[in-house]
Amino acid sequence: MTQSRSRKIISCVLLAMLLAGANVNAAPSKASTTIFTGKITEINKSVALGLGKREHYLIIKLDSQVNASFRLSPEDAVRYGFIEETGPTQILTPKQTKALGWKVKLECDSAAEGALNRPVYRVKSLEKID
């Protein structure tokens, strides 16, 4: 009887470990991202200052999300063909902002920064919609 009980306990422990291991190796869910679509109405350059760091990024506004802003790194913007390479200047000329007026699909982090009435989302990917 004790041998049968110990076998059941060991098999339950092994099954629990197997299930826990399978859950760890599962692919991460897409629940951590949010999709936004709309027409780009505004593009600005900005700088975030923090303790010992300085980050340059672009702020995008969409017509479908009036109060929300979307943060994109300049390197990603150049890679997506969103803007022309700007160099060290903080000014974007109309010639450099090729994407103004584009209809786009933005995949962003679900966790917004900033105030609740003016959320700022970090862009993970940008796709132009024709």
Residue 94: per-residue pLDDT: 64
Residue 12, CA atoms < 13 Å, CB-side half-sphere: 6
Per the domain annotation, does 7 fall within a domain? no
Per the domain annotation, does 13 fall within a domain? no
**What CA–CA distance (Å, rounded) separates 100 from 116?**
26
Per the domain annotation, does 10 fall within a domain? no
In order along its 130 residues, the chain shows pLDDT tens digits of 567 788 888 888 877 777 776 554 444 444 588 999 999 998 888 877 767 777 788 888 999 998 999 998 888 888 888 777 656 555 666 666 777 888 999 999 888 888 888 999 999 998 988 7
Q: Is the pTM of this model over 0.95?
A: no
The set of residues, in sequence order, having a beta carbon less than 8 Å from that of 19 and lying 6+ positions away, is: none
Residue 105: per-residue pLDDT: 93
Tell me the CA end-to-end span of the chain in Å, nearest whole number: 71
Residue 96: per-residue pLDDT: 65
Residue 23: per-residue pLDDT: 53
Indicate the number of domains in the chain. 1
Per the domain annotation, does 12 fall within a domain? no
The residue assigned the tokens 């970090």 is 122
Residue-number span of the structural domain to which 68 is assigned: 30-129
Q: Mark residue 31 as left, alpha or beta (left: phi above 0; alpha: psi -120 to 50; beta: remaining).
A: alpha
The domain that holds 51 is classified in CATH as: 2.40.50.1040
Which of 43, 33, 36 lies closest to 72, judged by CA?
A: 43
Per the domain annotation, does 38 fall within a domain? yes
Residue 26: per-residue pLDDT: 46
CA dihedral of residues 124, 128, 129, 130 (deg, nearest 10): -170
**What CA–CA distance (Å, rounded) separates 34 from 94?**
29
